[in-house]
Amino acid sequence: MTPPDGRLTDALLPEDRPPKDACGVFGVWAPNEDVAKLAYYGLYALQHRGQESAGIAVSDGNRIMVHKEMGLVAQVFDEPALSTLRGHIAVGHCRYSTTGASVWANAQPTFRSTGKTSLALGHNGNLINTRELAVLLDGAGPGSSGITATSDTDVLTALFLADRAEISGIGADPEPDAEPGRLPGPEASQVESAAAAVLPLAKGAYSLVFMDEQTLYAARDPHGFRPLVLGRLDSGWVVASETAALDIVGARFVREIAPGELVSIDGRGVRSRTFATPKPSGCLFEYVYLARPDTTISGRGVHATRVEVGRQLAAEYPADADLVIPVPESGTPAAIGFAEASGIPFGQGLVKNSYVGRTFIQPSQTIRERGIKLKLNPLRDAIAGRRIVVVDDSIVRGNTQRALVTMLREAGAAQVHVRVASPPVRWPCFYGIDFATRAELIAGRLSPEEICASIGADSLGYVSLAGLIKATTIPASRLCRACFDGQYPIPVAEDDRGKHILDGLGVGSLAGLTRGQPSATTAVTSSPLTAARRPRRLSRRP
């Protein structure tokens, strides 16, 4: 058995690898609040969006402190760690890697400093022109050079700290557009100015939360692929990936950060500027699987959408059966809707161990072979002798559903009818969701009839794309559906596809595209797991 090496693995359930989101982001500006704890609980609420690493950066107005580590939020932070993060601005992040390897250097928030200004940044999404952006750094000054990570996020961080006059091909800073009812825009900071200049050049998906010593910023790409919302505390402001995170920290929902909008929050209030023409293409898969059911996106509750998809599914693919069961948890609302519309009783047939996921422990072969049963176990009394409809949110590779059908038959099911609350996933995502390659997607290779035979079900039905879109109540023209229909809102060059486009150059080798030395950071403590090889907490006085 391989000993623990401090790296996260999902080999525990190799056949059960659901779609992975790119990350959760959270930011808070709130004098008189314990912002580190607010960020901690915000990240706790967003843990489903990324489980590889977590981090929080806090500014007290003069200095930014960062604490980040591989692992879940609850593994990374304890009371002593949080108590050292003092200030009134915080940026938090939980990561699943979609560009760059899952290593500490790529954990977020990223941190860089010019000596005069420091920046901490968290990113949800995936850029598709990272190489192009990295080349802009040539000549962009000491704070921006010497990329030491391999993520698109570190390239953005470096560009936001660069003197905009030195970034290749960027013109004068336009005046900010203060929105009606907002405080008038003061002179923009260096970071705000650079961000406003760089963001129109960034292609792909980005919901960003970042800060310098004085100001919290939030920005969303012109397509608004990933969600990002603004909330109000009694004495401050919050930005978060999902409304559920606002609820958990007691913030009131104010509005979504608009596609193409950059928001700045400090003692002078909230300022907004539009840096690009909005072309809304919100991710349809957020409604299927990614977002929490208690989150609202574009005014539509995710749970209500999923229940409606289940009703639609029952109308499109009815089944003659005795019991409707969900694949917990994300299949539950659609199963409720299916049962309501079909009149077939709803019940629990599978028990989920919510605590199985990525682990630092390399599993033994025996444990690996237990596969799906580590996560799902059937309720034999509920299943034996019955014709079962089992409702799942999506099928990616088909391995999980094949194991599930086998497990239900072994538990005595008379028939197993699989119903899926999304259309076949036929195309990969380049905007921040790590499904699989097209070759790995079972629906990219096989027809629904062939998939039914492959997983061994008595019948298989996918909700139609039109049915799913109708359930969201959002016009199709404002949604990205590319993983279902192959119509990508932004074309992606072959060279820019893939998670490890910067890894190929080697960690640190992007410095070869830039000039100068890496910015200084100060190691304050080290991780007990890997004390010899990495700084854990970073700070820099301006």
Contact set with ligand SF4 (CB under 6 A): 225, 283-285, 429, 431, 433, 480-483
What span, in angstroms and rounded, lies between the C-alpha atoms of 76 and 93?
12
Q: Closer to ligand SF4 at the Cβ: 148 or 312?
A: 312
Smallest gap, in angstroms, from Cβ of residue 422 to ligand SF4?
10
Smallest gap, in angstroms, from Cβ of residue 434 to ligand SF4?
10
Cβ atoms 486, 429 nearer than 8 A: no
Smallest gap, in angstroms, from Cβ of residue 532 to ligand SF4?
39
Q: Closer to ligand SF4 at the Cβ: 44 or 435?
A: 435
Angle made by CA atoms 97, 55, 207, in degrees to the nearest 5: 55
Q: Closer to ligand SF4 at the Cβ: 342 or 422?
A: 422
Cβ atoms 99, 127 nearer than 8 A: yes
| Catalytic machinery residues | 23
Give residue for tokens 């700290």. Answer: 161
What span, in angstroms and rounded, lies between the C-alpha atoms of 225 and 281?
6
User: Residue 458's CB: how many other CB atoms inside 10 A?
Assistant: 19
Start-to-end Cα distance in the chain = 48
User: Residue 335's CB: how many other CB atoms inside 10 A?
Assistant: 29
Smallest gap, in angstroms, from Cβ of residue 95 to ligand SF4?
17
What span, in angstroms and rounded, lies between the C-alpha atoms of 209 and 228?
9
For 111, the enclosing helix (H) or strand (E) is strand 110-113
Smallest gap, in angstroms, from Cβ of residue 443 to ligand SF4?
13
Q: Closer to ligand SF4 at the Cβ: 197 or 492?
A: 492
Q: Closer to ligand SF4 at the Cβ: 419 or 481?
A: 481
- Rg over alpha carbons for the chain, rounded to the nearest Å, is 23
308: preceding bond cis by omega (within 30 degrees): no
Side chain identity at residue 32, one-letter code: N
Q: Provide the β-strand partners of residue 208.
A: 123, 219
Side chain identity at residue 502, one-letter code: L
CA nearest to 408, candidates 388, 422, 424, 427: 388
User: Residue 11's CB: how many other CB atoms inside 10 A?
Assistant: 15
Q: Closer to ligand SF4 at the Cβ: 49 or 273?
A: 49
Smallest gap, in angstroms, from Cβ of residue 137 to ligand SF4?
27
